[in-house]
């Protein structure tokens, strides 16, 4: 069994180990010569068989101590190739007697096939050793590399040692190009007068670096090669000598470095001086001050911790009687300071709590600032008309330009004094039918109750635009509803008033009656005298003539009248934005009822809050399809 075989071999190894390592290749001519000379007289033997290129090989023999066989031709060489074809001994194909050499050329050389060599003398003596058998690949010793050269590389900072890159070419006899032989190389070097060679690591490239050579010393370098994965080296190449003398160039560089160092130091000192002298400016430029909280009229000292009482006192208006518009001289020298304006308006001066719309504030108006100029008289509403401190200027006839100005520029009450004064006209309280034009004119009171967004109720022929405060109407209704409960006496009045108020809802207007506006010449739809707005569609009649007869009694010949139009079937107040539901056969648009159909929750609605309810029924593209007749 293999187990027993291995163990037995191991045992034998332990006994005969000193001899074992010598016979690594099994060749007799590699054994130590001295070992043989001490024994019997030397018989003819082969001294060496070497192949240089793995395609040919040579064998040398020696007659040994039998000098009578030293004559050329006294000994003959026979070899045996142990391939499957032949098993007989053949004579050496080529003798070189001067060297006692037998040369096997390419035709007689076979790699990987065992050869055995034999010497035969004339008198039929055969000298053969079992160990003279080999295979060609195992006897290859490549030629030394050629063109050994060196170049100097990195010099150490001290300038005393340097590295050298050595390069060479593979031997021409070895067919490295075809890959038939693959070589690896080993460099030896030493100092000129030394006896020990330094051996570098074997490697496969054709260049290698020798590190740490010293200047002024001479070195000797040579190289040898062998086949990869084999053990026999070839001969050493010719030695080359490396020597590098001292290089004085380095010395001149030191003054330059000194100059550089001092120069840089001087520049650094200059920079430091500049920085120190201009410290304040640099800090301002690099680190601008962070603005602290500053409130106009309040000492910043009060804003610090622990002074809440004084701060409250100041803010509540005490002390100097409120925050004056002129600020104490705290920050005169800092023009970039922005102040926070604190609003200390007296709440009593405001008109109505819920009526004080955000619009006013948004428009930048404040009570003390806006003054009733000129027009204020005209703005006193005749109480018999509305009975309420209404902000409506219901009885004013239309004034084209004035209305335009008034309705279009709600925020500029301060400027156009006269333009707002629609109220200069005489009020006609007895007109039953109101002009369906509502003018939002004049005074601040009107503005207070006006929404920021108001529906355009009318456009005058001159181009003026009239707004209708629909939102306000709702509040009016609400309050009117509450009033009904309380004052039933004035029920008719309220109805009438409400009706009148409801009259003031207009939708699109085109005074010229041209173009597309004619088709949708919206008419005002007056509700039937009913306090409860009914559901239903409000059709907008395109034909102004249909309603003309009803409007004859009116002063206003505008096409958009028809308070008592028989065709009107509606009731609910028209919303500012109404959805066109469909177009009927008469090309009239059917509108959606306004979203707030139920009795209005009589909460004091903020005018602006109803705005979000408007875009309930915006038309979508698929609904648009339904509209096409």
Partner 1 sequence: MYLELYIRVGTAPICAYGHAGCHIPSLADLFDRVIQQSSRMHGISSDMHSEYEQYLFPSKNLTGKWKCHTYDIVTPDGKENAQMLGHEQLTKVILRLLEAWWDPLSQLHQSMSQDQNQDLNHYSSNKALEMSDMVQELRAGVVKMAEKMKSLGVLSNSVGSIHPETLVPSSAFSFYKRGEFNLMDPNDLLYCFRRDSNKVKNYLRILQCTTLSELNC
Provide, rounded to whole angstroms, the least separation between the CB of residue 120 and partner 1.
Answer: 18
Q: What angle do CA 86, 91, 92 make, to 5 degrees?
A: 115
- Look at the block and give the residue holding tokens 């619009």: 359
Give the total of residues touching partner 1 (CB under 8 A): 47
Among 15, 229, 256, 276, which residue interacts with partner 1 (rule: CB under 8 A)? 229
Among 45, 55, 410, 441, which residue interacts with partner 1 (rule: CB under 8 A)? 55
Question: At residue 217, what are phi and psi to the nearest 5 degrees?
Answer: -105, 150
Record the tokens describing residue 233, joined without a space. Answer: 């080296």
Provide, rounded to whole angstroms, the least separation between the CB of residue 6 and partner 1.
Answer: 6
Interface positions, 357-376, toward partner 1 (CB under 8 A)? none
C-beta closer to partner 1: residue 104 or 162 = 104
C-beta closer to partner 1: residue 50 or 517 = 50
CA 330 to chain centre: 47
Provide, rounded to whole angstroms, the least separation between the CB of residue 43 and partner 1.
Answer: 19
- Counting contacts by CB under 8 A, is residue 1 touching partner 1? yes
Record the tokens describing residue 141, joined without a space. Answer: 């010793």
- Counting contacts by CB under 8 A, is residue 175 touching partner 1? yes
Provide, rounded to whole angstroms, the least separation between the CB of residue 100 and partner 1.
Answer: 24
Instruction: Please write down the HEC assignment for all residues of 189-210.
Output: EEECCCCCCEECCCECCCEEEE
- Cα distances (Å, whole numbers) of residue 502 to 163, 399, 586, 601: 107, 21, 26, 18
CA distance 115 to 139: 11
C-beta closer to partner 1: residue 133 or 213 = 133
C-beta closer to partner 1: residue 106 or 276 = 106
CA distance 77 to 108: 14
CA distance 394 to 428: 10
The strand pair at 161-169 and 146-155 is best described as: antiparallel
- Counting contacts by CB under 8 A, is residue 82 touching partner 1? yes
Provide, rounded to whole angstroms, the least separation between the CB of residue 226 and partner 1.
Answer: 11
- Cα distances (Å, whole numbers) of residue 494 to 385, 393, 575, 598: 11, 17, 21, 19
CA distance 420 to 413: 8
- Counting contacts by CB under 8 A, is residue 230 touching partner 1? yes
C-beta closer to partner 1: residue 111 or 481 = 111
202: exposed, middle or buried (C-beta count within 10 Å: 0-12, 13-18, 19+)? middle
Among 15, 24, 67, 309, which residue interacts with partner 1 (rule: CB under 8 A)? 24
- Counting contacts by CB under 8 A, is residue 326 touching partner 1? no
CA distance 470 to 533: 14
C-beta closer to partner 1: residue 57 or 219 = 57
Provide, rounded to whole angstroms, the least separation between the CB of residue 169 and partner 1.
Answer: 17
Integer-rounded Cα Rg, in Å, for the chain is 61
Nearest to 141 by CA among 244, 47, 53, 31: 53
Provide, rounded to whole angstroms, the least separation between the CB of residue 81 and partner 1.
Answer: 9
Provide, rounded to whole angstroms, the least separation between the CB of residue 26 and partner 1.
Answer: 5
C-beta closer to partner 1: residue 58 or 182 = 182
Record the tokens describing residue 468, joined without a space. Answer: 């209708």
C-beta closer to partner 1: residue 175 or 519 = 175
Provide, rounded to whole angstroms, the least separation between the CB of residue 101 and partner 1.
Answer: 21
Segment lying near partner 1 (by CB under 8 A), choices 102-110, 437-445, 468-476, 524-532: 102-110
Residue 54's H or E segment, with its range, is: none
Among 41, 73, 179, 321, which residue interacts with partner 1 (rule: CB under 8 A)? 179
Among 37, 47, 72, 83, which residue interacts with partner 1 (rule: CB under 8 A)? 83
| C-alpha torsion 304→310→315→318, nearest 10 | -160
C-beta closer to partner 1: residue 229 or 287 = 229
Q: Which residues contact 504 (CB under 8 A, 6 or more apart)?
A: 394, 434, 436, 437, 438, 457, 468, 473, 524
Interface positions, 104-163, toward partner 1 (CB under 8 A)? 106, 109-114, 116, 130, 133-135, 137
Q: Per-residue contact track with partner 1, 4 to 23, x per CB under 8 A?
A: -xxx-xx-xx------xx-x
Q: By the criterion CB under 8 A, which residues form the site for partner 1?
A: 1-3, 5-7, 9-10, 12-13, 20-21, 23-24, 26, 54-55, 82-84, 106, 109-114, 116, 130, 133-135, 137, 175, 177-180, 182, 184, 202-204, 228-231
């Amino acid at each position: 069994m293999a187990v027993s075989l291995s163990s037995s071999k191991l045992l034998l190894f332990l006994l005969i180990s000193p001899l074992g390592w010598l016979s690594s290749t099994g060749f007799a001519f590699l054994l130590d010569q001295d070992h043989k000379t001490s024994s019997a007289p030397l018989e003819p033997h082969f001294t060496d068989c070497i192949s240089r290129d793995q395609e040919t090989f040579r064998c040398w023999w020696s007659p040994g101590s039998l000098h009578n066989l030293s004559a050329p031709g006294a000994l003959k060489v026979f070899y045996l190739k142990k391939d499957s074809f032949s098993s007989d001994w053949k004579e050496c194909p080529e003798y070189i007697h001067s060297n006692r050499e037998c040369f096997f050329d390419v035709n007689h050389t076979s790699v990987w096939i065992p050869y055995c060599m034999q010497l035969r003398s004339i008198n039929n003596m055969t000298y053969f050793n079992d160990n003279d058998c080999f295979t060609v690949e195992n006897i290859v010793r490549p030629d030394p590399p050629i063109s050994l050269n060196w170049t100097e590389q990195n010099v150490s900072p001290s300038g005393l040692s340097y590295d050298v890159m050595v390069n060479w070419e593979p031997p021409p006899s070895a067919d490295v190009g075809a890959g038939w032989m693959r070589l690896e190389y080993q460099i030896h070097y030493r100092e000129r007068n030394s006896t020990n060679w330094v051996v570098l690591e074997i490697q496969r490239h054709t260049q290698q670096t020798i590190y740490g050579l010293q200047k002024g010393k001479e070195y000797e370098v040579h190289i040898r090669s062998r086949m990869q994965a084999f053990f026999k080296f070839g001969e050493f190449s010719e030695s080359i000598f490396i020597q590098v003398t001292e290089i004085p160039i380095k010395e001149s560089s030191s003054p330059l470095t000194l100059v550089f160092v001092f120069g840089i130091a001087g520049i650094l000192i200059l920079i430091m001086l500049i920085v120190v002298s201009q410290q304040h400016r640099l800090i301002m430029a690099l680190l601008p001050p962070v603005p602290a909280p500053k409130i106009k009229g309040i000492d910043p000292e009060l804003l610090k911790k622990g002074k809440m009482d004084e701060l409250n006192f100041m803010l509540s208006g005490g002390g100097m009687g409120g925050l004056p518009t002129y600020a104490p001289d705290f920050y005169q020298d800092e023009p970039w300071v922005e102040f926070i304006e604190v609003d200390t308006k007296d709440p009593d001066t405001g008109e109505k709590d819920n009526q004080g719309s955000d619009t006013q504030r948004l428009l930048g108006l404040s009570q003390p600032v806006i003054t009733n100029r000129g027009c204020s008289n005209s703005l006193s509403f005749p109480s018999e008309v509305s009975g309420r401190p209404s902000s409506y200027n219901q009885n004013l006839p239309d004034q084209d330009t004035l209305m335009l100005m008034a309705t279009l520029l709600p925020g500029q009450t301060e400027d156009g004094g006269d333009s707002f004064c629609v109220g200069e006209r005489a009020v006609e309280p007895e007109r039953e039918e109101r002009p369906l034009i509502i003018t939002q004119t004049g005074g601040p009171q009107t503005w207070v109750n006006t929404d920021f967004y108001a529906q355009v109720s009318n456009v005058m022929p001159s181009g003026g635009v009239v707004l209708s405060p629909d939102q306000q109407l709702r509040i009016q209704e609400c309050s009117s509803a509450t009033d009904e409960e309380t004052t039933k006496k004035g029920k008719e009045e309220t109805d009438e008033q409400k009706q009148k108020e409801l009259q003031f809802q207009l939708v699109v207007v085109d005074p010229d009656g041209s173009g597309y506006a004619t088709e949708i010449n919206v008419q005002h739809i007056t509700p039937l005298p009913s306090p409860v707005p009914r559901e239903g569609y409000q059709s907008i009649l395109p034909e102004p003539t249909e309603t003309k007869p009803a409007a004859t009694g009116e002063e206003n010949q505008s096409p958009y009248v028809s308070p008592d139009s028989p065709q009107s079937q509606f009731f609910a107040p028209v919303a500012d934005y109404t959805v066109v539901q469909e177009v009927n056969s008469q090309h009239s648009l059917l509108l959606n009822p306004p979203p707030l159909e139920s009795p209005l929750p009589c909460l004091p609605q903020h005018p602006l809050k109803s705005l979000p309810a408007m875009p309930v029924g915006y038309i979508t593209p698929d609904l648009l399809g339904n509209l096409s007749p």
